[in-house]
Protein backbone atom coordinates (compact mmCIF):
# COMPACT_ATOMS: atom_id res chain seq x y z
CA UNK A 1 0.00 0.00 0.00
CA UNK A 2 1.41 3.46 -0.91
CA UNK A 3 2.65 5.45 2.03
CA UNK A 4 0.15 8.31 1.47
CA UNK A 5 -2.80 5.87 1.43
CA UNK A 6 -1.56 4.16 4.57
CA UNK A 7 -1.26 7.51 6.33
CA UNK A 8 -4.81 8.41 5.41
CA UNK A 9 -6.04 5.02 6.66
CA UNK A 10 -4.20 5.41 9.97
CA UNK A 11 -5.62 8.90 10.42
CA UNK A 12 -9.15 7.59 9.84
CA UNK A 13 -8.63 4.75 12.32
CA UNK A 14 -7.23 7.09 14.95
CA UNK A 15 -10.13 9.51 14.43
CA UNK A 16 -12.71 6.70 14.69
CA UNK A 17 -11.12 5.32 17.84
CA UNK A 18 -11.05 8.76 19.39
CA UNK A 19 -14.71 9.36 18.54
CA UNK A 20 -15.77 6.10 20.13
CA UNK A 21 -14.17 7.12 23.40
CA UNK A 22 -14.30 10.86 23.75
CA UNK A 23 -16.46 12.33 21.00
CA UNK A 24 -19.04 13.40 23.58
CA UNK A 25 -16.52 15.48 25.53
CA UNK A 26 -15.32 18.90 24.34
CA UNK A 27 -11.62 19.57 24.76
CA UNK A 28 -9.30 22.56 24.85
CA UNK A 29 -5.59 22.74 24.25
CA UNK A 30 -3.38 23.15 27.33
CA UNK A 31 -0.74 25.34 25.72
CA UNK A 32 1.53 25.16 28.75
CA UNK A 33 1.82 21.36 28.64
CA UNK A 34 0.94 20.77 25.01
CA UNK A 35 -1.83 18.27 25.85
CA UNK A 36 -5.59 17.97 25.51
CA UNK A 37 -7.61 18.26 28.71
CA UNK A 38 -11.30 17.84 29.39
CA UNK A 39 -12.86 21.31 29.19
CA UNK A 40 -16.31 20.43 30.46
CA UNK A 41 -18.06 17.62 32.27
CA UNK A 42 -21.12 17.63 29.98
CA UNK A 43 -21.43 18.90 26.40
CA UNK A 44 -22.08 22.62 26.55
CA UNK A 45 -22.32 22.57 30.35
CA UNK A 46 -19.78 23.92 32.85
CA UNK A 47 -18.23 21.51 35.37
CA UNK A 48 -20.22 23.01 38.28
CA UNK A 49 -23.57 23.33 36.50
CA UNK A 50 -25.13 20.24 38.04
CA UNK A 51 -23.67 20.99 41.46
CA UNK A 52 -25.12 24.48 41.27
CA UNK A 53 -28.61 23.19 40.46
CA UNK A 54 -28.42 20.64 43.27
CA UNK A 55 -27.30 23.17 45.88
CA UNK A 56 -30.15 25.52 44.94
CA UNK A 57 -32.93 22.93 44.73
CA UNK A 58 -32.18 20.15 47.22
CA UNK A 59 -33.43 22.08 50.32
CA UNK A 60 -36.94 21.92 48.78
CA UNK A 61 -36.81 18.13 48.30
CA UNK A 62 -38.39 16.23 51.19
CA UNK A 63 -38.66 12.69 52.53
CA UNK A 64 -42.18 11.32 52.98
CA UNK A 65 -43.11 8.61 55.48
CA UNK A 66 -46.56 7.11 54.99
CA UNK A 67 -47.73 5.06 57.97
CA UNK A 68 -50.42 2.42 57.67
CA UNK A 69 -51.96 0.57 60.60
CA UNK A 70 -52.62 -2.74 58.88
CA UNK A 71 -50.90 -5.90 57.77
CA UNK A 72 -48.60 -5.54 54.80
CA UNK A 73 -45.05 -5.91 53.60
CA UNK A 74 -42.21 -5.81 56.10
CA UNK A 75 -39.97 -3.80 53.77
CA UNK A 76 -40.25 0.00 54.26
CA UNK A 77 -40.95 0.37 50.53
CA UNK A 78 -43.99 -1.93 50.68
CA UNK A 79 -46.33 0.99 50.04
CA UNK A 80 -44.82 1.58 46.59
CA UNK A 81 -46.67 -0.88 44.30
CA UNK A 82 -44.21 -0.28 41.48
CA UNK A 83 -41.27 -1.60 43.44
CA UNK A 84 -43.31 -4.31 45.14
CA UNK A 85 -44.10 -5.60 41.66
CA UNK A 86 -40.64 -5.17 40.19
CA UNK A 87 -38.59 -6.36 43.18
CA UNK A 88 -40.97 -8.91 44.73
CA UNK A 89 -40.70 -7.52 48.27
CA UNK A 90 -41.55 -10.13 50.93
CA UNK A 91 -44.82 -10.03 52.82
CA UNK A 92 -45.08 -10.45 56.58
CA UNK A 93 -48.01 -9.36 58.77
CA UNK A 94 -47.28 -6.38 60.99
CA UNK A 95 -49.42 -3.93 62.95
CA UNK A 96 -47.67 -0.69 61.95
CA UNK A 97 -46.00 -0.24 58.57
CA UNK A 98 -44.19 2.68 57.00
CA UNK A 99 -43.74 3.41 53.32
CA UNK A 100 -40.97 5.73 52.20
CA UNK A 101 -40.99 8.11 49.27
CA UNK A 102 -39.95 11.55 48.11
CA UNK A 103 -41.65 14.84 47.35
CA UNK A 104 -40.86 18.50 46.79
CA UNK A 105 -42.19 21.81 48.11
CA UNK A 106 -43.97 23.94 45.48
CA UNK A 107 -44.86 26.99 47.57
CA UNK A 108 -43.39 28.80 50.56
CA UNK A 109 -46.50 28.09 52.65
CA UNK A 110 -45.89 24.35 52.65
CA UNK A 111 -47.65 22.68 49.71
CA UNK A 112 -45.81 19.52 48.62
CA UNK A 113 -46.18 17.41 45.48
CA UNK A 114 -45.62 13.66 45.43
CA UNK A 115 -47.05 10.49 43.86
CA UNK A 116 -50.46 9.27 44.96
CA UNK A 117 -49.09 5.75 45.30
CA UNK A 118 -46.57 6.99 47.92
CA UNK A 119 -49.37 7.93 50.35
CA UNK A 120 -52.11 5.55 49.14
CA UNK A 121 -53.87 3.91 52.08
CA UNK A 122 -51.86 5.81 54.67
CA UNK A 123 -53.45 6.69 58.00
CA UNK A 124 -50.70 9.21 58.81
CA UNK A 125 -48.20 11.04 56.59
CA UNK A 126 -45.01 12.68 57.91
CA UNK A 127 -42.58 14.92 56.03
CA UNK A 128 -38.90 15.47 56.76
CA UNK A 129 -37.61 18.89 55.66
CA UNK A 130 -33.91 19.78 55.58
CA UNK A 131 -32.94 22.23 58.31
CA UNK A 132 -35.85 21.45 60.64
CA UNK A 133 -35.71 19.29 63.76
CA UNK A 134 -38.31 16.56 63.77
CA UNK A 135 -40.91 15.65 61.17
CA UNK A 136 -44.02 17.55 60.15
CA UNK A 137 -47.37 15.80 60.12
CA UNK A 138 -48.91 16.40 56.70
CA UNK A 139 -52.51 16.71 55.59
CA UNK A 140 -53.52 15.33 52.19
CA UNK A 141 -54.96 18.37 50.41
CA UNK A 142 -55.90 16.40 47.32
CA UNK A 143 -55.06 13.22 45.45
CA UNK A 144 -55.71 11.80 41.99
CA UNK A 145 -55.35 8.05 41.51
CA UNK A 146 -55.53 8.18 37.71
CA UNK A 147 -52.75 10.75 37.39
CA UNK A 148 -50.83 9.32 40.38
CA UNK A 149 -50.47 12.75 41.94
CA UNK A 150 -50.96 13.90 45.52
CA UNK A 151 -50.72 17.32 47.13
CA UNK A 152 -49.73 17.52 50.80
CA UNK A 153 -49.77 20.50 53.16
CA UNK A 154 -47.54 21.12 56.17
CA UNK A 155 -47.38 24.06 58.59
CA UNK A 156 -43.74 24.87 59.27
CA UNK A 157 -44.34 28.23 60.96
CA UNK A 158 -41.99 29.96 58.53
CA UNK A 159 -41.47 30.37 54.79
CA UNK A 160 -40.04 27.32 53.08
CA UNK A 161 -37.79 26.93 50.03
CA UNK A 162 -39.73 25.76 47.00
CA UNK A 163 -39.29 24.60 43.41
CA UNK A 164 -40.87 25.94 40.24
CA UNK A 165 -42.68 23.78 37.71
CA UNK A 166 -41.13 24.12 34.24
CA UNK A 167 -42.55 23.60 30.76
CA UNK A 168 -42.21 19.88 30.09
CA UNK A 169 -43.76 20.31 26.62
CA UNK A 170 -40.56 22.07 25.52
CA UNK A 171 -38.29 19.29 26.77
CA UNK A 172 -36.39 17.56 23.98
CA UNK A 173 -35.14 14.00 23.80
CA UNK A 174 -31.47 14.15 24.76
CA UNK A 175 -31.83 17.05 27.23
CA UNK A 176 -29.91 16.57 30.47
CA UNK A 177 -31.94 16.01 33.65
CA UNK A 178 -31.25 15.60 37.37
CA UNK A 179 -33.19 13.41 39.81
CA UNK A 180 -33.13 14.06 43.56
CA UNK A 181 -34.80 11.78 46.07
CA UNK A 182 -34.44 9.28 48.88
CA UNK A 183 -33.77 5.88 47.29
CA UNK A 184 -33.67 3.13 49.92
CA UNK A 185 -33.85 5.88 52.55
CA UNK A 186 -30.54 7.43 51.42
CA UNK A 187 -31.38 11.08 51.95
CA UNK A 188 -31.05 13.51 49.03
CA UNK A 189 -29.37 11.18 46.56
CA UNK A 190 -28.57 12.88 43.22
CA UNK A 191 -28.45 11.11 39.85
CA UNK A 192 -28.11 12.49 36.32
CA UNK A 193 -29.12 11.37 32.86
CA UNK A 194 -30.98 12.47 29.77
CA UNK A 195 -34.54 12.40 28.50
CA UNK A 196 -34.67 9.13 26.56
CA UNK A 197 -38.19 9.49 25.12
CA UNK A 198 -41.48 11.34 25.56
CA UNK A 199 -45.11 10.27 25.57
CA UNK A 200 -44.51 6.73 26.83
CA UNK A 201 -47.62 4.67 27.72
CA UNK A 202 -46.90 2.46 30.75
CA UNK A 203 -49.14 0.17 32.81
CA UNK A 204 -48.18 -0.85 36.36
CA UNK A 205 -50.56 -2.92 38.49
CA UNK A 206 -53.60 -1.71 36.58
CA UNK A 207 -52.64 1.97 36.75
CA UNK A 208 -52.39 3.23 33.16
CA UNK A 209 -50.08 6.10 32.32
CA UNK A 210 -50.43 7.63 28.89
CA UNK A 211 -47.77 10.29 28.62
CA UNK A 212 -44.64 9.66 30.69
CA UNK A 213 -41.16 11.03 30.21
CA UNK A 214 -38.55 8.28 29.95
CA UNK A 215 -35.11 8.90 31.42
CA UNK A 216 -31.92 6.97 32.07
CA UNK A 217 -31.25 8.92 35.29
CA UNK A 218 -31.05 6.27 38.00
CA UNK A 219 -34.38 5.92 39.86
CA UNK A 220 -34.78 3.44 42.72
CA UNK A 221 -37.27 2.56 45.49
CA UNK A 222 -37.83 5.73 47.49
CA UNK A 223 -37.34 8.07 44.52
CA UNK A 224 -41.08 8.06 43.77
CA UNK A 225 -42.56 11.55 44.05
CA UNK A 226 -39.21 13.34 43.80
CA UNK A 227 -38.39 15.98 41.19
CA UNK A 228 -36.83 15.48 37.78
CA UNK A 229 -35.07 18.79 37.09
CA UNK A 230 -33.70 20.52 34.03
CA UNK A 231 -30.43 22.44 34.12
CA UNK A 232 -32.31 25.62 34.99
CA UNK A 233 -33.41 24.01 38.25
CA UNK A 234 -37.06 23.74 37.12
CA UNK A 235 -39.14 20.63 37.76
CA UNK A 236 -40.06 19.09 34.42
CA UNK A 237 -41.23 15.73 35.83
CA UNK A 238 -42.22 13.80 38.94
CA UNK A 239 -40.25 10.56 39.23
CA UNK A 240 -42.68 7.67 39.26
CA UNK A 241 -41.44 4.21 38.28
CA UNK A 242 -38.63 2.11 36.89
CA UNK A 243 -38.45 -1.01 34.78
CA UNK A 244 -36.29 -3.46 36.72
CA UNK A 245 -36.04 -5.73 33.67
CA UNK A 246 -33.73 -3.25 31.94
CA UNK A 247 -30.87 -0.91 32.73
CA UNK A 248 -31.44 2.83 32.75
CA UNK A 249 -35.18 2.96 32.10
CA UNK A 250 -37.13 5.21 34.46
CA UNK A 251 -40.32 7.22 34.05
CA UNK A 252 -41.63 10.58 35.25
CA UNK A 253 -45.00 12.35 35.07
CA UNK A 254 -44.59 15.54 32.96
CA UNK A 255 -44.92 18.83 34.82
CA UNK A 256 -47.52 19.93 32.26
CA UNK A 257 -49.85 17.24 33.61
CA UNK A 258 -49.53 18.71 37.11
CA UNK A 259 -50.24 22.27 35.98
CA UNK A 260 -53.59 21.22 34.51
CA UNK A 261 -54.86 19.81 37.82
CA UNK A 262 -52.97 21.71 40.51
CA UNK A 263 -55.87 23.97 41.50
CA UNK A 264 -58.22 20.99 41.65
CA UNK A 265 -55.77 19.21 43.96
CA UNK A 266 -55.59 22.26 46.21
CA UNK A 267 -59.36 22.49 46.48
CA UNK A 268 -59.81 18.75 46.83
CA UNK A 269 -62.14 18.75 43.81
CA UNK A 270 -62.28 15.71 41.59
CA UNK A 271 -61.62 16.64 37.99
CA UNK A 272 -63.66 15.16 35.16
CA UNK A 273 -61.67 12.90 32.88
CA UNK A 274 -62.43 13.23 29.14
CA UNK A 275 -61.56 9.84 27.68
CA UNK A 276 -61.49 8.00 24.37
CA UNK A 277 -59.86 4.75 25.50
CA UNK A 278 -56.51 4.50 23.72
CA UNK A 279 -52.92 4.04 24.75
CA UNK A 280 -50.60 6.03 22.52
CA UNK A 281 -46.95 6.75 21.97
CA UNK A 282 -45.14 9.34 19.89
CA UNK A 283 -44.05 8.45 16.38
CA UNK A 284 -40.27 8.34 16.16
CA UNK A 285 -38.12 7.88 13.04
CA UNK A 286 -38.19 4.09 13.27
CA UNK A 287 -41.97 3.95 13.73
CA UNK A 288 -42.46 6.38 10.84
CA UNK A 289 -40.47 4.11 8.50
CA UNK A 290 -42.32 1.02 9.69
CA UNK A 291 -45.74 2.64 9.26
CA UNK A 292 -44.91 4.22 5.92
CA UNK A 293 -45.15 7.83 7.09
CA UNK A 294 -43.38 10.72 5.39
CA UNK A 295 -42.13 12.12 8.71
CA UNK A 296 -42.16 11.24 12.45
CA UNK A 297 -45.36 13.03 13.39
CA UNK A 298 -48.54 12.07 15.20
CA UNK A 299 -49.51 9.62 17.95
CA UNK A 300 -49.56 5.91 17.18
CA UNK A 301 -52.25 3.83 18.87
CA UNK A 302 -50.55 1.15 20.97
CA UNK A 303 -53.80 -0.26 22.35
CA UNK A 304 -57.58 0.24 22.29
CA UNK A 305 -59.78 -0.40 25.35
CA UNK A 306 -62.69 -2.76 24.66
CA UNK A 307 -66.02 -0.92 24.59
CA UNK A 308 -64.34 2.50 24.56
CA UNK A 309 -65.31 5.44 22.34
CA UNK A 310 -62.19 4.77 20.27
CA UNK A 311 -63.21 1.16 19.61
CA UNK A 312 -66.77 2.21 18.78
CA UNK A 313 -65.37 4.75 16.29
CA UNK A 314 -63.32 2.01 14.62
CA UNK A 315 -59.82 2.92 15.78
CA UNK A 316 -57.32 0.08 15.62
CA UNK A 317 -53.88 -0.69 16.96
CA UNK A 318 -51.14 0.95 14.83
CA UNK A 319 -53.46 3.70 13.60
CA UNK A 320 -51.63 7.03 13.67
CA UNK A 321 -53.67 10.00 14.87
CA UNK A 322 -52.43 13.05 12.95
CA UNK A 323 -55.32 15.46 13.58
CA UNK A 324 -57.72 15.78 16.50
CA UNK A 325 -60.58 18.25 16.77
CA UNK A 326 -59.11 20.45 14.06
CA UNK A 327 -55.57 20.56 15.49
CA UNK A 328 -52.51 18.83 14.04
CA UNK A 329 -50.99 16.28 16.41
CA UNK A 330 -47.21 16.32 16.59
CA UNK A 331 -46.72 13.72 19.32
CA UNK A 332 -48.49 11.72 22.03
CA UNK A 333 -48.30 14.59 24.52
CA UNK A 334 -50.21 16.89 22.18
CA UNK A 335 -52.93 14.27 21.73
CA UNK A 336 -53.32 13.76 25.49
CA UNK A 337 -53.58 17.54 25.96
CA UNK A 338 -56.14 17.80 23.15
CA UNK A 339 -58.31 15.09 24.72
CA UNK A 340 -58.17 16.77 28.13
CA UNK A 341 -59.30 20.04 26.54
CA UNK A 342 -62.52 18.43 25.28
CA UNK A 343 -65.91 18.36 26.94
CA UNK A 344 -67.56 15.10 27.93
CA UNK A 345 -70.27 14.33 25.37
CA UNK A 346 -68.52 16.30 22.64
CA UNK A 347 -68.20 14.77 19.16
CA UNK A 348 -64.71 15.18 17.76
CA UNK A 349 -63.47 14.73 14.21
CA UNK A 350 -60.22 12.79 13.98
CA UNK A 351 -57.88 12.01 11.09
CA UNK A 352 -55.92 8.75 11.29
CA UNK A 353 -53.37 7.21 8.96
CA UNK A 354 -53.93 3.49 8.44
CA UNK A 355 -51.89 1.48 5.97
CA UNK A 356 -50.71 4.74 4.37
CA UNK A 357 -54.27 5.95 3.79
CA UNK A 358 -55.94 8.85 5.64
CA UNK A 359 -59.26 7.96 7.27
CA UNK A 360 -61.66 10.45 8.95
CA UNK A 361 -63.48 9.19 12.06
CA UNK A 362 -65.76 10.78 14.63
CA UNK A 363 -65.29 10.00 18.31
CA UNK A 364 -67.73 10.76 21.13
CA UNK A 365 -65.77 11.95 24.18
CA UNK A 366 -66.78 10.04 27.32
CA UNK A 367 -66.13 10.29 31.06
CA UNK A 368 -63.35 7.92 32.08
CA UNK A 369 -65.04 4.97 33.85
CA UNK A 370 -64.29 4.47 37.53
CA UNK A 371 -63.21 0.87 36.89
CA UNK A 372 -60.58 1.97 34.37
CA UNK A 373 -57.44 2.74 36.33
Q: pLDDT value at position 32?
A: 40
Q: Is the pTM of this model over 0.75?
A: no
CATH 2.30.42.10 in the chain is located at 274-367
Catalytic residue set = 117, 148, 224
Q: At what angle do helices 255-267 and 332-340 cross, to 10 degrees?
A: 20
Q: What is the DSSP letter of 272?
A: P
Query: What homologous superfamily does CATH list for 274-367?
Result: PDZ domain (2.30.42.10)
CATH 2.40.10.10 in the chain is located at 59-153, 168-267
Q: pLDDT value at position 340?
A: 83
**Host H or E run for residue 37:** strand 35-38
Q: pLDDT value at position 17?
A: 37
Pick the closest to residue 189 from 155, 217, 148 (CA basis).
Answer: 217
With beta carbons less than 8 A apart as the criterion, state whether 277 and 312 touch. Answer: no
For 360: left if phi > 0, alpha if psi spans -120 to 50, otherwise beta; the answer is beta
Assigned CATH class of 168-267: mainly beta
CATH topology of domain 59-153: Thrombin, subunit H (2.40.10)
**Host H or E run for residue 349:** strand 347-354
96's CB contacts (< 8 A; 6+ apart) are 67, 68, 69
Q: pLDDT value at position 185?
A: 83
| 3-state percent breakdown (helix, strand, coil) of the chain, nearest 5 | 20, 40, 40
- Output the tens digit of pLDDT for each of the chain's 373 residues: 554 444 433 343 333 333 333 333 333 334 344 343 343 445 556 788 899 999 999 999 999 999 886 544 445 555 555 545 444 444 444 445 577 899 999 999 999 999 999 998 899 999 999 999 999 999 999 998 878 999 999 999 899 999 999 999 899 999 999 999 998 888 899 999 999 999 887 777 667 677 899 999 988 888 899 999 999 999 999 998 776 666 788 999 999 988 888 888 888 766 668 889 998 888 888 888 888 888 889 999 988 999 999 999 999 999 999 999 999 999 887 898 899 889 999 999 999 999 889 999 999 999 887 656 5
Amino acid sequence: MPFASMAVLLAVLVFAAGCSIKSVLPFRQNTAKGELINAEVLPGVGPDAVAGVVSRTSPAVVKISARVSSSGASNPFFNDPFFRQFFGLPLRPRQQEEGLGSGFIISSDGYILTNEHVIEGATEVYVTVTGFDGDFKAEVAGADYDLDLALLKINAGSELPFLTLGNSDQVRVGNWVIAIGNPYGLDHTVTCGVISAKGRPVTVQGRQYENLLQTDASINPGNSGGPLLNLEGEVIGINTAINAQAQGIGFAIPASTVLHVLEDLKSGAKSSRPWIGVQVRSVDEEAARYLGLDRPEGAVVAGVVAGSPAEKAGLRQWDVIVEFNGSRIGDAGELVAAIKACQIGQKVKVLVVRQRQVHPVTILIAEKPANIR
